[in-house]
Amino acid sequence: MRRALWLWAALLGCSRAPRSAHGPAIFEARCASCHGADGRGDGLLGRTSVPPARNFHDPAWQASRTDAQLEDVIRRGGLAVGKSPLMPASPDLVPSQMAELVRFIRAAGRTP
């Protein structure tokens, strides 16, 4: 019975995991190849790109950007906002996914 209730809750979208649990997965799938698994700009492609991929752990950079600016570059891609043309656009992210991804990037800035 307990297992059936858990399955029912999972199917309805009720989960014990916080909403931001998807941020790391989105980052891994879309960003880590350049920005690295921890967001330090040391991903396989990011180390060799010109300009190099952004290090999200840089507190000065974190303080200089608003969440709206992060969302804009993620949604439109680097070329559209005067950044690296290698950064692809992600117009398919729904608002909740975008918010989770931005929270993940912001959390990187709070860890040395």
**What DSSP element (H or E) covers 27?**
helix 22-30
> Is residue 55 assigned to a domain?
yes
- What is the extent of the structural domain holding 61? 16-108
DSSP state of 79: G
> Is residue 8 assigned to a domain?
no
> Is residue 10 assigned to a domain?
no
Contact (Cβ atoms closer than 8 angstroms) between residue 45 and residue 30 = no
> Is residue 11 assigned to a domain?
no
Neighbours of 74 (CB within 10 A): 24
Global pTM reads 0.79
Q: Give the CATH number, domain containing residue 73.
A: 1.10.760.10
Indicate the number of domains in the chain.
1
Q: What is the full per-residue pLDDT of the chain (112 aa) written as tens digits?
A: 444 333 333 333 333 333 446 999 999 999 999 999 999 999 999 989 888 999 999 999 999 999 999 999 999 999 999 999 999 999 999 999 999 999 999 999 888 7
